[in-house]
Amino acid sequence: MKTTAVRLYGAMDLRMETFELPKITEDEVLLKVVSDTLCASTYKAVKQGTSHKRVPADIAENPVIIGHEMCGELVEVGKNLQNEWKVGQKIVIQPALKLESGYDPGYSYRYIGGDATYAVVPKIVIERGCMIPYEGENYFSGSLVESLGCSLRGLKGFYHTDYTDYRRTDGAKKGGKLAILGGAGPMGIGAVELAIGYAGVGKVVVTDLDEARLDYARKNCSAEKAKARGVDLVYLNTKDMEDPAKALIELSDGGFDDVFVMVPVPALFTMAERICREDGCINFFAGPAVHELQGSLNLYRVHYDGIHVVGTAGSIPEDTVDTIRLIEEKKIETGGLISHILGLSAVAEAVYAMEKPSGAKKVCYTSLDLPLTAIADFEELGKTDPLFRELDKIVKANGGLWCTEAEKYLLANGPRLK
């Protein structure tokens, strides 16, 4: 079986190539990858090359397939797995195997990654429960499970303490107030969706410095939708504020119970402590690209006000299962997270361009030969291209959001990879 995949040979050295996959063993499956969403973590691995902790040292000779947010269907199942797994079954991969080596799908393996037409799922992934059944109505939501699972783990990672008996309660405070600092990007929007559809908080305030990103978030995850679910959602541009912490404290009537820090900026971490109320919890969620990043907070408040600090990275299979359930039960909406579509041939340039973030999540349909295309550009492109004319019509009928019908039309009519 041949596959076409985007492989990493060294720092900033991606190549799309067609090559032969090994025959699967009795304990492996062959996966047809349908979709993969691009992630900033992939850009970090591509930029750092072999200095990245998940990237093997020998990629110049044994390149790895990139992409870890994959969704697809099984086309061949090894003999020892046929009682549990079936050809045609849809699955997602939880890429965080928690191996001592740090190696994970999408970073470390020659024959499995999301930016490929076909992949071999190795025994270790299946043994660790990291190949998970998915029955959602589309593939792009399956590809979003990994990033949403990370935000879900972040919400689960918050905790609070009753200091009368030191009893601990895990998770964002029910009915409480949540701040998402630097939160108008794709991970922040995902966190908002989960805060509304899963966490049970009462108020969410999202800050950012970029008005275009805030406008996108307001449109695709609206305050009106949140209000209908009993949540007060506010988007706030803090760029020109003299004292944003003071404004946030006033907006929250004294401070927040939980604070996400979505950008690896020490000043945001310090501000997070300032806006926490007593027993507040900070999740330094953003992953720094450097190994030394110093931040400060008021240790008096840590002791006397019981401010907690945690950091969550990635997710575990339990989070993947929970996220899939939320999607299948339509408790969270995923279309608003997708800002661009592309085919496999556009992946390398799209990843390189992530040095300067733009838009929200970009979903790659690996069987297609399609340039990186913003959903916002469908109308203009549709003036000369019937494919985008129809996609624009479908998306507009869905409130401007990428959707199942649009995906089905694209997969049936889009230009195929040769």
Amino acid at 300: Y
Closest among 68, 96, 37 to 318, alpha carbons compared: 96
| Contact yes or no for 31/116 (Cβ under 8 A) | no
* Cα–Cα distance, 223 to 232 (Å, whole number): 7
Cβ distance 282 to 272 under 8 Å?
A: yes
pLDDT tens digit string along 279-334?
999 999 988 877 889 999 999 999 999 999 999 988 999 999 999 999 999 999 99
- Residue 23 CB coordination number (10 Å): 10
Using alpha carbons, select from 163, 174, 167 the residue that is nearest to residue 198: 174
Confidence of residue 100 (pLDDT cuts 50, 70, 90): confident
What confidence tens digit (pLDDT) does each residue in 380-391 have?
Answer: 999 999 999 999
CB 182 within 8 A of CB 206: no
Q: Where does the pLDDT of residue 359 fall: very low under 50, low under 70, confident under 90, or very high at 90 and above?
A: confident
58-67, 80-89, 284-293, 296-305, range with the lowest pLDDT: 284-293
C-alpha of 333 from chain center: 14
Mapping DSSP to helix (H, G, I), strand (E, B) and coil, where does residue 380 land?
Answer: helix
Q: What is the DSSP letter of 67?
A: -
- For residues 416 and 368, what is the distance between their CA atoms, to the nearest angstrom? 4
Average pLDDT score, the chain: 95
Residue 300, Cβ density class (10 Å: 0-12 exposed, 13-18 middle, ≥19 buried): exposed
Beta-carbon contacts of residue 28 (< 8 Å; ≥ 6 apart) = 78, 81, 120, 121, 122, 123, 126
| pLDDT beyond 80 at 14 | yes
Measured distance CA(398)–CA(375) in Å, rounded: 12
Instruction: State yes or no: pLDDT of 341 exceeds 90.
Output: yes
